[in-house]
Amino acid sequence: MLWDEWGVIADIILFTSNFPHSDIHALLAPDLLHQLIKGTFKDHLVDWVCSYLEETHGFTHAMEIIDDIDRRIVAAPPFSGLRHFAEGQGFSQWTGDDLKALMKVYINAIEGYVLDDMIRAFRAFLEFCYIARHDIITEDTLEDLEDALNRFHEYCEIFVSMNVRSNFALPRQHAMKHYPGLIHLFGAPNGFAPPSRNRNISRRQATVPTFKQRIDKLAASLVDFTARRMLTEPSALSHLQYFEKQLDIDNDEATCSDPSSSAGGAQTINSNHNQEAGQPDATEGDELEEEGDAIDGEQALCDIRLARTIHESIFSIDEV
């Protein structure tokens, strides 16, 4: 019986059966992304709505209704916190952020095409999901969580009565029953599934070209501002040199750790001081040791000046 129905061999006793603290439900931590957002919402409820439309209206008319649902999603008015889906729900691959944004507009999109109890099931699930995502959960919050779960199970029976589902023996939905107990043991589940390391690496790699483009735009604007006499040349060069040095942070750190770096810094200060005094530069003609192209002109360690006001004339008396 156990083997035919559940694939369990009854004669085998696991070696963990006598372990006092061995509880499989406590070993599986809550996973908001795969159990709730992607699992119950996208893979279950959204697919069940499509199956209900096809079962009730036929395949052709169901596709027309789904297209209208997509048009409703696209036509969602712009509002703070809402995302605009230019192509509706026609994604080849959904991410967690895409599904979180879809959850906010999906009920309004399907209203009128599905039964009221299906709408109530979506609402109860969204309440459960948003409560579980709280950073701080109290006893009153847990009561609201259990109430939303009970209403979700009650209204989900409509999918069985409409021949969309035969049962709800789904591991990801079953895990929702253990959320109150796991929250008591481990705290709020928000943060149990951190973003992958590969995603963080790809984001950092994508940031480097953007940073270089911004530096090029800043350099062009500084040249333009200097030509318009809105910024003096030492101030513009000091800003440009600051941003260029950010491209090689590791090299800067290695230079700071090198004992000879302090001597190089003193040499630069003395060089600037000699140029201001009209004396020849002792390092003139030497190549710069830092990476990057050399910058012609006077250098300044830090020189911040405000732009000229509109009332000041930019022409001298001789030019007029």
pLDDT of residue 275: 45
| CA distance linking residue 15 with residue 28, whole number of Å | 19
What is each CA distance from 214 to 67, 221, 244, 267, in whole angstroms? 41, 10, 11, 30
| CA distance linking residue 268 with residue 270, whole number of Å | 5
pLDDT of residue 312: 46
pLDDT tens for 215-243 read 788 778 877 877 887 766 555 555 566 66
- Asked if residue 228 lies in contact with residue 297, where contact means CB atoms within 8 angstroms, the answer is no
Poorest-pLDDT segment among 49-53, 269-273, 290-294:
269-273
Q: Which residues contact 51 (CB under 8 A, 6 or more apart)?
A: 164
For residue 207 the two structure tokens come to 């940031």
The helix or strand, by DSSP H or E, that contains position 217, with its residue range, turns out to be helix 197-227
Q: Which residues contact 141 (CB under 8 A, 6 or more apart)?
A: 131, 134
pLDDT tens for 38-83 read 999 999 999 999 999 999 999 999 999 999 999 999 888 888 888 8
274 or 188: whose pLDDT is higher?
188
Q: Provide the 8-state DSSP code for 313.
A: -
Does the pLDDT of residue 273 top 80, yes or no? no
Closest CA to 300 of 210, 235, 222, 216: 235
What is each CA distance from 6 to 1, 10, 24, 173, 258, in whole angstroms? 8, 10, 17, 17, 67
pLDDT tens for 106-154 read 999 999 999 999 999 999 999 999 999 999 999 999 999 999 999 999 9
| CA distance linking residue 10 with residue 8, whole number of Å | 6
User: Rounded to a whole number, what is the distance in angstroms from the first to the last CA of the chain?
Assistant: 104
pLDDT of residue 20: 75
pLDDT of residue 98: 87
Cα 214 to chain centroid, rounded: 22
| CA distance linking residue 285 with residue 87, whole number of Å | 60
Whether pTM > 0.85 for this model: the answer is no
Query: Please, which pLDDT band fits residue 104 given cuts at 50, 70 and 90?
Result: very high
pLDDT of residue 313: 45
Query: Please, which pLDDT band fits residue 272 given cuts at 50, 70 and 90?
Result: very low
User: 127-150 burial, b for 16+ CB within 10 Å, e for fewer?
Assistant: bbbebbbeeebeeebbeebeebbe
Over its C-alpha atoms, the chain yields an Rg (Å, rounded) of: 32
Which residue bears the tokens 């209203």?
111
Arithmetic mean of pLDDT over the chain: 75
- Asked if residue 30 lies in contact with residue 132, where contact means CB atoms within 8 angstroms, the answer is yes
